[in-house]
Amino acid sequence: MKTSSDRILTTHVGSMPRPEDLADLLYKVEFSEPYDKDLFEATTRAAVDDIVAQQREWGFDIINDGEMGKTGYATYIQQRLDGFSGESSSIRFDDMSNFPEYRREQAKAAGTRRLNRPCCTSEVTVRDREPLERDIANLKSATANAGASDVFMNAASPGVITVFQDNQH
């Protein structure tokens, strides 16, 4: 990992805005709707290439994939892990509760889409490593093409998952 004695190194954590064509495909994945897997993989790969190149242009020192291949910040786990079913209770952060119109406008401006939020209902086990392997391959390829040597991959921690998915196990 890089270190510096003359400046603060930069990175970011979390999702970057996804291109609309990828967001549409991810929404189909999220809700188990039919989709073209080859198109999904090519669109995801292109989005990762683009976001890695943009991070390099912006001057980021440590690069990630912007979570392009994930349906949501913490909900993507349902495609990769077993032990989740049903639906979690609605989450509302209180900072905008007194301003419902402002909340709606913010959601509209962000292009917020409803995500599936199942509950933890049984032991959590790995169901499918393929999405993880695809994410790693896409990030390795994109960072090699962009000349980025310091990279990391975001992953939802158990603590974050429990904020968005109820634990009923």
Best CA proximity match to 79, nearest among 12, 42, 25, 39: 25
The answer to whether the beta carbons of residues 124 and 85 sit under 8 Å apart is no
Residue 87: CB atoms within 10 Å: 11
End-to-end CA distance of the chain: 39
Q: Is 17 strand, coil or helix?
A: coil
- For residue 14, what pLDDT band results from cuts at 50, 70 and 90? confident
Say what the pTM is: 0.82
Residues 15-68: tens digit of each pLDDT = 898 999 999 999 999 888 999 999 999 999 999 999 999 999 999 999 999 999
